[in-house]
Structure formats: C-alpha cells, structure tokens
C-alpha cells in the first residue's frame, strides 16, 4: 500500500464539489486515511509550492491557494501516487482526459480543482508538511 497526498483546491470547494471528488477517489479504491479542512497562510502556500517559486505563475498560484479553504487529504491504495495522478488528469483541465477530476471540476490551469503528489518521495514530504505522524 502506498500513501499519497491530495488537496481539494479552493475553486472546487466554492463549487461544493468536495464530496464528489472524494467519492471519485473512494470509488477508485483510494482510501481516505487522514483529512482536514484548512485555509492556507501565504507562508504555507509558498512553502508547499517552493519548487515553483521561480515560475511566472507562482505569485498568482499562492494567491489562489490562499483564497479560501482547502481540504488536505492522505489517500492510500496500491500504487496510490500514480492512481491519484491518473484520476486527476492533466494539469490543464482543457487537456485533461474525459472523466478525470480536473476535466470535470477544473476551471483553469491554475484553478484545476485538485493537487496530487508526483512521486512517492514528494508524497512523503507533502504529507509531513501538513500532518503529524
């Protein structure tokens, strides 16, 4: 079993899609093993996305991620990291495959409804960023 880290982003919460997104995870066999609703501080958003700090979208991304509450999730499944990334679809909802979470609930490349760890190492780092052991 593999744990991954997910965020339901502010645009999805504004559209009342928390339940639909978590249901898609559960229906795909990803078990919710930790969850909390939280409004990120600018410091948390910037720290979480530090790898993107030099990118042109960074300031806008941190503003978006602090614009309302998010739901922080630890999901667990066989091959959980890849399973959740596939279920979310491509970063840009316009390019995401039909039936994926970002296609269904994404509003733009920035407000793309969900986050998912890219690697197992990233998942471990991201879980530790927001959750105690």
Q: Is 113 in the site for ligand CDP (CB under 6 A)?
A: no
Segment interacting with ligand CDP, rule: CB under 6 A, options 18-26, 38-46, 73-81, 105-113: 105-113
Cα 8 from Cα 131, distance rounded (Å)? 16
Does residue 113 contact residue 16 with C-beta atoms inside 8 Å? no
Angle, CA of 22, 114 and 59, to the nearest 5°:
150
Catalytic pick among 46, 71, 115, 117: 115
Does residue 57 contact residue 110 with C-beta atoms inside 8 Å? yes
Q: Is 74 in the site for ligand CDP (CB under 6 A)?
A: no
Distance of closest approach, residue 118 Cβ to Mg ion, in angstroms: 5
Q: Is 115 a catalytic residue?
A: yes
Distance of closest approach, residue 90 Cβ to ligand CDP, in angstroms: 7
């Amino acid at each position: 079993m593999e744990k991954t880290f997910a965020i339901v982003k502010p645009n999805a919460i504004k559209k009342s899609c928390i339940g639909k997104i978590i249901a898609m995870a559960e229906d795909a066999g990803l078990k919710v093993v930790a969850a909390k609703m939280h409004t990120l501080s600018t410091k948390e958003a910037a720290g979480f996305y530090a790898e993107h700090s030099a990118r042109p979208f960074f300031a806008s991304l941190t503003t978006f991620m602090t614009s309302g509450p998010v739901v922080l999730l630890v999901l667990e499944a066989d091959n959980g990291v890849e399973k959740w990334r596939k279920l979310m679809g491509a970063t840009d909802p316009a390019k995401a495959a039909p039936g994926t979470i970002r296609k269904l609930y994404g509003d733009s490349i920035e407000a793309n409804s969900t986050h998912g760890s890219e690697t197992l190492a990233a998942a471990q780092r991201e879980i530790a960023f927001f959750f105690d052991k």
